């Protein structure tokens, strides 16, 4: 019997508030990187691990997610660059064009691609299901779902974003959410303005506030916690609907998003 493969996930800070995630397979000593905002922090860890970069997994074309692509390719010419099919021409050096249901293999793990337009029209997420019962799955969702929030609608409609978030929301509660920005405290401060009586939210806010005051990262979060506290996953909750004077789920979402844009 072989032992279970180990995929270590290393969280790297980049730019002002971005996270880059390095997936490291310890058996083969290979790595994949999700949304390299810049190359330096990635190259530093790869050197420390003496690991070879084999894949770049981009969620969307924004510069703070693809900014490191070119430099990483120079250092690792055989790396494969993945992104959404609708991002053709927008992601530097993209080689693989993914759509809903596509699969990406890294070492012994296989990620399922989820098409999540809204923040951009081409955005995708990568979901690694748990390998065994009782383990956690891992969702790399870029700027679609944030801890306590969601991405701005730059190229998509509220309807599209609700559909996209609904797909992410349907994943198991025991899924780690690896989003690309440390926006959690601000997101929860906003959430409290429209969902003040939510005790799960209150509790989370205080935890996150303590974490941040100690300089700790709040990512990953757990999807089960997001479902209870993130206003952008709770468009059918009567309390949120009445907070924005609507009984329509998409309109509720759109109004909450509009309020957050000005928060």
List the interface residues with Zn ion, window 63-92 (CB under 5 A): none
> Residue 38 binds what, of Zn ion, Fe ion, none (CB under 5 to 8 Å, by partner type)?
none
Q: Give backbone dihedrals phi and psi of 135, rounded to 5 degrees, phi first.
A: -90, 170
User: Of 86 and 143, which CB lies nearer to Fe ion in the complex structure?
Assistant: 143
Rg (C-alpha) for the chain, rounded Å, is: 18
**Start-end of H helices in 195-248:** 199-213, 223-229, 238-243
Candidates 25, 138, 143, 195: give the one binding Fe ion (CB under 5 A).
Answer: 143
Catalytic residue among 65, 87, 138, 195: 65
Which CA distances in Å does 29 have to 53, 68, 178? 9, 21, 22
CA–CA gap between residue 214 and residue 175 (Å, rounded): 25
Candidates 24, 61, 62, 204: give the one binding Zn ion (CB under 5 A).
Answer: 62
- Is 35 a binder of Fe ion (CB under 5 A)? no
User: Of 64 and 182, which CB lies nearer to Fe ion in the complex structure?
Assistant: 64
CA pseudo-torsion sign 85, 174, 190, 257: positive
61 as an active site residue: the answer is: no
CA–CA gap between residue 232 and residue 148 (Å, rounded): 8
CA–CA gap between residue 109 and residue 112 (Å, rounded): 10
181 as an active site residue: the answer is: yes
- Is 38 a binder of Fe ion (CB under 5 A)? no
261 as an active site residue: the answer is: no
Candidates 25, 38, 86, 143: give the one binding Zn ion (CB under 5 A).
Answer: 143
List the interface residues with Fe ion, window 60-79 (CB under 5 A): 64
Positions marked catalytic: 60, 62, 64-65, 119, 143, 181
Binding site for Zn ion (CB under 5 A): 62, 143
Binding site for Fe ion (CB under 5 A): 64, 143
């Amino acid at each position: 019997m072989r032992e279970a493969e180990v995929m270590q996930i290393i969280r790297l800070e980049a730019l002002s508030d971005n996270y880059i995630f390095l997936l490291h397979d310890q058996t083969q000593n290979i790595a994949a990187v999700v949304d390299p905002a810049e190359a330096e922090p990635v190259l530093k860890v790869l050197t420390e691990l003496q690991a070879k970069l084999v894949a770049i997994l981009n969620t969307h074309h924004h510069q703070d997610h693809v900014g490191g692509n070119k430099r990483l390719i120079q250092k690792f010419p055989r790396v494969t660059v993945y992104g959404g099919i609708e991002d053709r021409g927008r992601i530097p050096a993209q080689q693989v064009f993914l759509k809903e249901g596509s699969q990406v293999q890294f070492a012994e793990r296989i990620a399922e691609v989820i098409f999540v337009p809204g923040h951009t029209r081409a955005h995708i997420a990568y979901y690694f299901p748990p390998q065994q019962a009782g383990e956690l799955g891992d969702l790399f969702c870029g700027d679609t779902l944030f801890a306590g929030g969601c991405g701005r609608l730059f190229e998509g409609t509220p309807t599209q974003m609700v559909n996209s978030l609904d797909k992410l929301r349907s994943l198991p509660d025991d899924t780690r959410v690896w989003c690309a920005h440390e926006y959690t405290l601000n997101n929860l401060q906003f959430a409290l303005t429209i969902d003040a009586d939510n005790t799960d939210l209150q509790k989370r806010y205080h935890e996150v506030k303590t974490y941040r005051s100690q300089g700790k990262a709040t990512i990953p979060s757990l999807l089960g916690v997001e479902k209870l506290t993130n206003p952008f996953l709770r468009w059918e909750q009567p309390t949120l609907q009445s907070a924005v004077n609507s009984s329509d789920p998409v309109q509720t979402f759109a109004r909450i998003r509009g309020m957050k844009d000005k928060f």
